[in-house]
Amino acid sequence: MTEQFPLGQLAQAAPAQLVQWMAEVQPLVGLGHLPQYVPELAQVNPETLALAVQPAQAKLIGLGDVSCRFSLMSLMKPFLLLFVLEEQGADIVFDRVGMLPSDQSFHSLKQLAADRGHPRNPMLNSGALSLVELLPGRNGTERCRVFCQWLQQKSGIALTVDQTMLASVRELPNDTNRALAQMLKNAGSISSMAKALDTYNQICCLAVTVSALAQLGLLLAVRQDCIQRRSQRIVNALMLTSGVYEVSGEWALRMGLPIKSGVSGGILAIVPGEGTIALYSPAIDDAGNSVAGACLLEKIIQNFDLSLF
Ligand SMILES: NC(=O)CC[C@H](N)C(=O)O
């Protein structure tokens, strides 16, 4: 007899329940703001909501605006961390970045200054800017290609850079990320600012749908022959403690799952041993997390008792 997991039960109960919860959060869709520092992100339709539930043992369920493509932005960070843990090992990774939560925003200069140029954790922009230097390749394009090939080999999901988004990111240089890179360079944490920023930007602009994101998340959610258990544990722990920045502690209580968000409005929740939930709704709150996405995720977690604690 196959074991019945809660997320599998959810799959059976869907779509009726999920449709109902999506309708309940509809008044929140569009509440919040669109990031203005990337012109292309400022122009998306805020009135969208998409959900994908990927149980490990059953078919993916997609609801809402599932064909919407969005950039990973910070959702790339858990996968970047997984790559470098697998390819370089934890000692090298934690030589470059810390593992402590931060009560500051994802691009806080104050935090990096307080930490003397040693990023507090890999879920912050500073942490990712430091870790991209561990990707092999002579430039951002090569490093991004290596990263995509690795992800495809491990997950079967092929990602490509959204060139329009990348052009938009480059069009309006991000002074905060530049200042973070400068601080990292001054501290000897990175060797090339330009290469680190370019790699970071390209990987942030990898495009997904909620379904692709949910499928990618399985790399972290269930045992994989091709990925070490220890690497999965480290990434999940850091998502739980730091995945949604300064509100990670609050979300750990509310949601009780490893979760990562991105300023594009995507959210990925890992239900360890069972599967993943991915959401997309582009309007975000002050911490950079999708407003409607968070509310829908909380309803699903509570109603299906998916919290780990
Ligand atoms: N929180 C995020 O998604 C941040 C990623 C975004 N590319 C930035 O650098 O600001």
Higher pLDDT, 154 or 2: 154
258-283: per-residue pLDDT in tens?
A: 999 999 999 999 999 999 999 999 99
* Contact between residue 262 and residue 74 where contact means Cβ atoms under 8 Å apart: yes
pLDDT at 6 over 90: no
Q: pLDDT tens for residues 42-59?
A: 999 999 999 999 999 889
Please report the pLDDT score of residue 285 as a whole number: 97
Amino acid 11: pLDDT: 67
Q: So what's the pLDDT on residue 15? A: 80
If one residue of 112, 129, 199, 263 were mutated to test the ligand 1 pocket, choosing by the most ligand atoms within 8 A of its CB, it would be 263
Nearest to 202 by CA among 153, 243, 154, 168: 168
pLDDT for the residue 9: 73
204 close to ligand 1 (CB < 6 Angstrom): yes
Calculate helix-pair angle for 193-204, 163-171, nearest 10 degrees.
140
Tokens representing residue 39 in the block: 């012109």
Quick: pLDDT tens for 146-184: 999 999 999 999 999 999 999 999 999 899 999 999 999
Give me the chain's average pLDDT, please: 96
Expressed in angstroms and rounded, the spacing between residue 90 Cα and the centre of ligand 1 is 24
Q: Kindly state the average pLDDT of the residues 104-133.
A: 98
pLDDT band of residue 16 (cuts 50, 70, 90) is confident
Q: Is 235 annotated as a binding residue?
A: no
Whether the predicted pLDDT of 4 surpasses 70: no
Using the predicted structure, report yes or no on whether residue 2 has a pLDDT greater than 50: no
pLDDT tens track for 287-296? 999 999 999 9
pLDDT per residue as tens digits for the range 185-201 = 999 999 999 999 999 99
The pLDDT assigned to 8 comes to 75
pLDDT of residue 10: 72
User: What is the predicted pLDDT for the residue at 1?
Assistant: 41
253's CB contacts (< 8 A; 6+ apart) are none
0.90 surpassed by complex ipTM:
yes
Q: How far is the CA of 58 from the centre of ligand 1 (A)?
A: 32
Q: State what percent of residues in the chain have pLDDT above 90.
A: 93
pLDDT given for residue 40 in this prediction: 96
The mean pLDDT of 64-77, rounded to a whole number, is 98
Written in H, E and C, the secondary structure of the chain is CCCCCHHHHHHHHCCHHHHHHHHHHHHHCCCCECCCCCHHHHCCCCCCCEEEEEECCCCCEEEECCCCCEECHHHHHHHHHHHHHHHHCHHHHHHHCCCCCCCCCCCCHHHHHHCCCCCCCCCCHHHHHHHHHHCCCCCHHHHHHHHHHHHHHHHCCCCCECHHHHHHHHHCCCHHHHHHHHHHHHCCCCCCHHHHHHHHHHHHCEEECHHHHHHHHHHHHCCECCECHHHHHHHHHHHHHHCCHHHHHHHHHHCCCCEEECCCCEEEEEECCCEEEEEECCCECCCCCEHHHHHHHHHHHHHCCCCCC
The rounded Å distance from CA 72 to ligand 1 centre is: 9
125 is an annotated ligand-binding site residue: yes
- What's the start-to-end Cα distance of the chain, in Å? 27
State the pTM of this model.
0.97
**In this structure, what token pair is assigned to residue 190?**
């990175």
